[in-house]
Each structure stands twice: as structure tokens, then as C-alpha cells.
Amino acid sequence: MNLDYFFLGIDTQAYKYMGCHRLGDGVEFYLWAPHAAGIDVFMSREGFQVFYPFEKVDDRGIWHLVIPNCECIYSYRFRIYHKDGSFSDKSDPYAFYSERRPSNASVMYDLSQYQFTDQEYMSKRKFSYENPLNIYEVHVNGFKHEGDLTTYRELKEQLIPYVKEMGYTHIEMMPVVEHPFDGSWGYQATGFLSATSRYGTPWDLMDFVNECHLNGIGVILDVAYVHFATDAFGLGNFDGEPCYEYKDPKISRSQWGSYQFDLGSGPVVSFLLSSANIFLNEYHFDGLRMDAVSNIIFFDGNKNLGRNESGLSFVKRFNYSIKKEHPDIMLIAEDSTDFPKVTVPTECEGLGFDYKWDLGWMNDTLKYYKMDPEYRQYHHNQLTFSMAYFYSEKFILPLSHDEVVHSKKTIIDKMWGNYEDQFKQCRNLFLYMFTHPGKKLNFLGNDIAMYREFDESRGLDWHLLQYPAHDSFNRLFRDLCHIYLSYKAFYSYDYDPLSFKWIDADNYKQSVYIYTRYDEDNCFLVVLNMKPISYTDYRIGVPFAGTYSELINTEKDIYSGCNMCNFKPVRSKKVKAHGLPNSIAIDLAPYAGIIFSTKIKKKIARAENNTSLKLVGAQK
């Protein structure tokens, strides 16, 4: 324990001594409460409510207590006496477990007794931009929910086989820290080190992560370090005065009404670092996705209010410290701003995230697919613009929970047209997503084309798979996931400009887009038709002479399409098209998305730095 580190905001392990811990045959408490006049801990013990007084051991506000002959099995609260003679009863900020809502007392819990069996997975875990990353974003209670709340153990039995079958590489869990209101989905928390008891015990959550790892699935935790809930038992005015929140009332509250963390306070920064580290160290999570980074960069996420310098300092310190201790995990930013260098290392004056959600791609793409195809020609650049800025950051393409709630409609329901047209375009959309550079993230329900918006009190509409359109859509989604995993062109060179090339980005009249993706051995030609018009003998310039085989076509009958496909391999001819000497002629169905593949006879070599491609030249 180094209290100087704690107050400087560089202690990533404060959870190991702050809060309640076993000490011999008793328990020991440390608490930070700089404005308190006195503190008691009280618990129900042997049928009586027993109070034990703390002693102040540091003038900076550290209080200490040892209770001998006390089993680590009790729930407890802190009674904090204020300078004016009043008091407030608070939960332990560093509690590892809490009573199930609506109760809110902290619960003594020993995390160390769970025995992980994922040593092989952990020893091989390595962060690399060349790895595939196909994320399934999950709310614990939203996957399969019947009757009471889903438990972590039920989720283990239900979710892991599905994720494995579908071809996802990671599960991203919406916040599972303790929170009072189910409808906040964990984004307004009260217990930042406490795995929520509504779904089970900390050991149950550990067991879920362990089982994911045994099945080769990584687990990412969604965290919200901008703000916290205002409930009286929580962090707000913790010792009678602002402690965890900003003292200035002009910035102490967020636009959501919650308290905003004082990210310039050393003890607060150590608290948040410890909150992250407990889930990385003790639960074996493989990454963190930080919510609302825009509110860390700018006050209330509003550039006009100016940069939040304490927030910027915090996020750089946080990312540097966590990556130094855990170089094999990933840090992901949900950031809606155009602030530069979000995914540049802190050593190079960046914010130090590994990935950033591409919310610009998401917004432009969904606006385009909502549009009447007759007017798409006037907005053609909404699908090409993403590649103009794509290499400025390390982007993930997200179709997250934010897009299927609050009367926004689900992904399938955003598509233009009637029921059949919506399915055709949604199939096209996901082929576009899986072939566009960038890692992938989809929220539960996207892959079964669910029409009902997300509701945390209900599971997915799995009965939809009884209907051919939904069942075949799920099959297409699964096939796209496995194609993505099977070919390095779609993941290994995401951030290498040489791995992507437009063949035709300007055909606005027909609303047809054509591009290629490469790896060392293969060239994949992607064709997207955004109108309800079919074409025969549609000529496309190709970068390599040879035979092009249809790898997948969203209009194939097994996907409930019209079956206007290219069933035989197509041989290129020396006919100029799109500025290339060779071309192929294909059949192109309305709203079809197609991937053609060809082997590259004249290899594309790896560049000297071994992280990008070096185009040797097109075949003649």
C-alpha cells in the first residue's frame, strides 16, 4: 500500500487494500473520506446491528478499522458523520459485491477463492491488429430471458454455444457493475468494483469468463467512467461534500442528470484505475470499451464548451497505465467526436486507445439504407466517404444497442421499402459491413433480423427463426462471419491502405459500388447493387486476369433471395473496363451483395515491416 501513489492518481491496485478485506480471523477496512467528522461501519451480526468506529490515520482523509474475530460473510454500510452533526449511510465504493437491488448494502466477499482453468488461453492471449475481431454485444438479461432475471450461469449455458456456432470472436458485455435501475443498463452505476448481484455472484461471473476462454471466446467489458448514479447511498456527496464528483456545480452534473467524476482528482483516478484492474486481474476480462469518451474530451461532449483538460489527462494516464500492465488486452473508445489521435499511443501524443468506434460510418450507412433507392444517386458519397478518413484511426464498425432502442427502430426495420425489400437490403448491408475494412461489432438481435426494439426485461424473439426469412437471414449472417474468419484479407490488413481498392466508387446513376480486398494469396471482388434493378452481363474491371468464383451472393435462394446468381466461375477477358485491361461480365440481381474470389498467381508480397502488403503488380 502506497498512499502517495493513491493520492497522485497512479495507484492501479488500490482495490487490494481499500474497502473490506480479510485479515487473519477478522476483517480490515480502509476508506477515503476527507471531509468526514467521524465514520462507523455497521452490520447485522448475531441478530444485532453492531457499530464499529474508524480511526483517521492520514490527514488527507484515510480512515482505518480492524474487526477481530469477524467472518467475511456480512453485509455492511458506512455511517459517515458530517461536520454539521448530520450523517449519511453509504455503500462501500470499493465493495466487491452488493445486496441485490432494491437493497444496497455492501457484502463482504473473497474473490481469491475462485479457481480459473483458462491458463492456456491466457498464456496465448496476444493483442494484434492482424487478429480477427468480430464482437457480439450482449445485455445479460437480453439474450434468452424467461421469468426471473437471467443468471451468469444460465448465460454460460445459452450464449457460449451460439456465439461459437455463429463465428463471433468476442462477447462485449454491457456494464455488469452494480447499478440501482435496470433501465440504465449499467451505465449509471453505484458500485464500480462490484459485479452486479442481480445476475449472480462474482464467482458466477468469473465462471462465465472462464468458460468463454475454454471455448476460445474473448470477453470485453463495457465501462462508464464519465458519470455515476445520484442515489443517496452511492458516491455523491460521499462524506457530506463533493468527493468523487466535481466541486463546481456548473460541471458536477451531466446532461443525463448524473454526477460527473472529478477526473482531475488523484484519489478518483486511482479509484477508476482500480475499477478497471479488478476486472482485468481478478475476472480475466480481455478488454474494456469506454463509454461516452466525447464527454471526457469535451465538457458534456460539446466542443463549444471547450476541452476538458482534466479528462484528457485522465484518459491518457488511464490507457497508459492499463496497457503497461496488460499489453495483451484491448482498449476501445466509444467516441462521437473528430478529436484526433484517439487510437495513437500516448507516447506519440495520442489518447492511447487501441480502437475507436466508427460512428460516422454507422450514421452515414444507416441514413443511406433508409433512403428511397430513387434518391440514393444524390447521396452516393455517403457510402464512399468512410474510406476517405478510415486510415486516420483504428476503427471498429459498430451496429450497437444504441441503434435499436428509443424508437429508432431495429436495423432491419430501418431499411427502406416493404418486408421483402427490407430483407434484401439488410442482407446487402451486412455483406457490405463484413467486407469493409475495420473490425466488427453487432448487438444481439441484429443477426436474426429482429423487428422489436431492445427491451432489457425480455429476451430475443427467437421464435422468429420459425419463419424462413429470418432463419435464412441468420444463416447468411453466420456464413458472413465464417467467411470473415476464413480469409486474412478481411481482417489481417484492415489498417493497410493497400489491402483495399475501389474499382468503381462513382457509379451514382446505377448506385452500384465495386471494390477489392487483398491478402498475399487472394483477391476478393465485392459488388453492391443498391437499387431494385437487375443487370445481365454487367461488366466489371478486374485487377488480375483469371477466373472469378462467386463466394457468396445475398440473393441466393438459401438466403430467401431470387437466386439470380453466377453459379459458374467467370473467366476474365481482355476487355477494358473501369480503367483496367481485363474485365468480367456478371449477372447482378436487385439489391444483391456479392463476393467474388480469385487466386493471385503473381504474389502480393509482405512489406519489409511485415505489417502491410506490397503490391507487386497486376497480372497481364
- The catalytic residue positions are 291, 334
Residue 145 is which amino acid? Answer: H
Closest CA to 89 of 68, 103, 101, 108: 103
Per the document, the length of the chain is 620
Rounded Cα gap, residues 349 and 313, in angstroms: 11
Q: What is the DSSP letter of 579?
A: T
**C-alpha cell read off for 332:** 476501445
Task: Judge contact between 585 and 510, C-beta under 8 A.
Answer: no
Q: What angle do CA 478, 422, 501 make, to 5 degrees?
A: 60
Residue 431 is which amino acid? Answer: L
Rounded Cα gap, residues 152 and 206, in angstroms: 9
Residues 462, 464, 467, 472, CA torsion sign: negative
* 184 burial level (CB within 10 Å; 0-12, 13-18, 19+): middle
Task: Judge contact between 200 and 151, C-beta under 8 A.
Answer: yes
Closest CA to 97 of 191, 236, 187, 176: 191
| Residue 586, CB-side half-sphere exposure with 13 Å CA sphere | 30
**3-class DSSP state for residue 344?**
coil
With residues binned 3-state (H G I as helix, E B as strand, rest as coil), the percentages for the chain, rounded to 5, are: 30, 25, 45
> Could you tell me which residues come within 8 angstroms of residue 281 by beta carbon, excluding any fewer than 6 positions away?
none
**C-alpha cell read off for 92:** 462501500
Q: What is the DSSP letter of 37?
A: S
In angstroms, how far apart are the furthest CA atoms of the chain? 91
Rounded Cα gap, residues 609 and 611, in angstroms: 5
Rounded Cα gap, residues 79 and 233, in angstroms: 10
